[in-house]
Structure 1
Amino acid sequence: MPALPAPPAGPFDQVRPRYGERSLADVLPSALAVLDVPGAADPLGLAGALDGVRRIAVLLVDGLGWHQIPTAAPYAPALAELAARHGRTLTSGFPSTTPTSLVSLGTGVAPGAHGVLGFRVNVPGTDRVLTHINWTDDPDPLRWQPVPTQLERAAAAGVAVTVVSRPEYAGSGLTVAANRGGTYRAAADPGSLATGMLAALGAGTGPALVYGYHPDLDKQGHLAGVDSLPWRQAAVELDLLLTRLVDGLPRDAALLVTADHGQLNIPYENRLDVDAEPGLRAGVRLVAGEPRVRYLHVRPGAEPDVVAAWSAELGGRAWVAGRAEAIAAGWFGPVPEPHRRRVGDVVVACLGPYAVLDSRTDSPVEARLVAYHGSCTAAEMTIPLLVRRG
């Protein structure tokens, strides 16, 4: 087996999103260009390599950052082979978290445009914090995320579009925001995911787009840690899934494998609790985001003092900036006015192996997790794109 390409940056180097060039949001527009959907751009340049392909399966593996592939390689040789022979790197969007990334993939636009700007965000004008993975129909997904999806574009052009994912995600706010436009096929485990994706890919004679979602590697990373025994077993199961998909590809089909983010194990001694540092509460009205990237919503006029207090406390462990600075720096892509207040007045992004907990609002389970993600390090932001023809 050829050697895996070296990561483009060290795990704690800061990585900026490559929107419109080499990001997760560019995957489906390029896939639609291969399928000759009118007006589809091809920022990843897939059309030449996939000339003649009429069916595309896109598998998103939650938590499979590029930096995690060498760790998984001893337990996932098919994954390692795909990465070595057919892999390139992309960036996730920012924050590097599942809801934001799934909607970026589904819509083909940067987070600022679609508005799902974090794991938890404040609903502007209220004291409510919306957790996107627990979202049902309030706020209305079609209003909260107004951008048409790439699946809708493909279906309107006559492509047969299918979404294969866990039954509990059907009809959720996040699924409607990210994946509306496709026929939903429930798959409760990796075996049924492979079966469902291949069945949809092989049905009919016209162009087809199949999207599949696999959450288990991320789950075991959170609960037990990257390279733990449960994580290794999840890597083995992922390898079996990839093998089935590659072996079952029709001759006129291609498989694209990507991810939403990577993960980092965070030592318990590197976790700061906001409640343990009284000065960090001063001026803060509401805490959103997640442990690796926090959104602080502050009382009127308090932003400079909050930035100063958090910068002094965290030092080089985090980047602390006001909303306007974070948006101007391009982390979210262009952010229209209706979405700006979903970003905190102050953004706190951890730079090393650190996390910021909020025992008032975080669930006890979240505080006990082993691995986290969400921030701007290479280990979190650098993701694979593996391209395999049938």
Structure 2
Amino acid sequence: MTVPMDVTRQPTWPGLANLSQSILAALGGVGFRNAFELAPSSATCLLLIDGLGHALLQEHAQQAPFLAALAKPGGVFRVGFPATTAASLATLSSGMASGVHGIVGCTFALDADSEFSPLTWTCSPFSEEKLATLAPPPERFIVPQTAWEQASEQGLRISTVMPARYADSPYTRAVYRGSQILGAPSLDAYPLLVRQALTVDAAAYCFAYFADLDFAGHLFGPGSEAWLEQLRSADRLAQAIFRQLPQGARLLVSADHGMLGLDSAEVVDFDLEYGLQEDVLAIAGDIRARHVYIDAARHDRVLERWRDRLGDNYTVLSKANAIAGGLFGDVMLSQAEGRIGDLIVVPNAGGGIIRSVVEPAASRWQGHHGALADADQVVPLLMC
């Protein structure tokens, strides 16, 4: 029997926010906490490999010899909730939990009528009878000043190297404020762009983003040959960036979340579960981190029904309990609270809530993440 997760035992301050603040503090930034106790540095590159969980790197170390050689005992941390790209990258750049920056999932309710997808920056109606709200202006979506903006005002030089196709997206404009965006036409361009970003007359931080491991993992599964090819590519990229670093610069390598294949015995299809659909207004979020929106008058009834149906394989939390337990961080802003589901549903092991009719593509994916399990949460922190 799977033991239900105790959310109160989860760290309430996400590790990616701590990592961001620690890097900026080590570069001389004022007002940032160095929870990772990084040594002072005048130039740092953080290469983020999307979807590279700690367990996956350990299991496939022979495919990534450069990265595996950098692994040290205890060199891991938990990214924060939800463990999904849209929220994690915002947590890293803002230095804040999802309950403050407001990106609380891969999708979530922007209002009573509309579901918002931050990575595509689009809104869709929750039902055919409703009209979708217009997507909000990206530059004003994160309300508080981000960590990168604060550091930039202090004179730190912050740059982001990413695939050129993402360089001017609304999500990029929303999340990477305070950073100079350097769009790379190919991975071969990354090392020189990083070197140029760090070769300046100021303390410098360059964030480099590798996306394709996560993409391959979703479609073909972690450990598949397509996934292994992307892992080998990420390993070569990390080594190439390291060889091009200016003298005295530091390279860190980490990830925004892990990934795992679902256990079919624990998967629940919401679109075929009429008992779960009763009194539910909408459902959003990741397959392993669902937001469920319900009528307030039927809250307790629906909560009990979901817990009874899902049993010990899942943790089903009310919004109030999730917030009180620090699931979305110690601080909660009102706009973020309004986006969070009335219920938060996460699998304790290998399950997930799919939607075979409404989300046919994602329901067929071979790799997933988002929850509080180690496979979703624990990522490496490598340094050279």
Tell which deviates more after alignment, 30-39 or 278-287: 30-39
**Pairwise mapping of residues 1-390 of structure 1 onto structure 2 (< 5 A)?**
17-20=10-13, 23-46=15-38, 50-51=39-40, 53-84=41-72, 88-124=75-111, 126-135=112-121, 138-202=135-199, 204-333=200-329, 334-362=331-359, 364-388=360-384
Secondary structure of 2:345's aligned partner: strand
Q: Percent identity?
A: 32
AA of the residue aligned to 1:359: S
Gaps of 5+ in 1: 1-11
What amino acid sits opposite 2:69 in the alignment? Answer: E
Q: Which amino acid aligns with 1:365?
A: A
One-letter code of the match for 1:72? H
Structure 1 residues 153-172: Cα deviation after superposition (integer angstroms, max 9, x where no partner): 22211222211112222232
Contact 2:160 2:182 in 1 (8 A): yes
Please, which runs of 5 or more residues in structure 2 have no aligned partner? 123-133
Query: Normalised by the size of structure 1, how large is the TM-score?
Result: 0.89
3-state SS of paired residue (2:321): helix
Contact 2:86 2:106 in 1 (8 A): yes
Aligned-pair CA distance for 1:300: 3.2
d(CA) in 2 for partners of 1:222 and 1:14? 28
Runs of 4+ in 1 over 6 A off after TM superposition: 12-15
Once the two structures are TM-superposed, the CA of residue 60 in structure 1 deviates from its matched residue by 1.2
Deviation at 1:272? 1.6
Aligned length: 368
What is the rounded CA distance, in whole Å, between the counterparts of 2:97 and 2:312 in structure 1? 28
Equivalent-residue separation in structure 2 for 1:14 and 1:367 (angstroms): 27
Tell me the SS of whatever aligns to 1:327: helix
The one-letter amino acid of 1:96's match is A
- Alignment-mate amino acid for residue 66 of structure 1: H
Secondary structure of 1:198 counterpart: helix
Q: CA deviation at 1:99?
A: 0.7
Match of 2:206, SS?
A: strand
- 1:335 shift after superposition: 1.3
CA contact (8 A) 2:93 2:148 kept: yes
Q: Which moved more, 1:368-377 or 1:272-281?
A: 272-281
8 Å CA contact 2:50–2:257 kept in 1: the answer is yes
- Equivalents in 1 of 2:77, 2:47: separation in Å? 15
Q: Give a deviation string over 1:276-303, Cα, whole Å, max 9, x none.
A: 1111110100111121111111123111
In the alignment, the residues of structure 1 paired with residue 157 and residue 140 of structure 2 have an alpha-carbon distance, to the nearest angstrom, of: 26
CA distance in 2, matches of 1:327, 1:71: 34
- Do 1:127 and 1:286's aligned partners in 2 also have CA atoms closer than 8 Å? no
Higher deviation after alignment, 301-310 or 187-196:
187-196
Quote the offset at 1:269 in angstroms: 4.6
Rounded to whole Å, the distance in 1 between the matches of 2:264 and 2:283 is 21
Across the aligned residues of Structure 1 and Structure 2, the Cα RMSD in angstroms comes to 2.0
Structure 1 position 40, deviation (Å)? 2.4
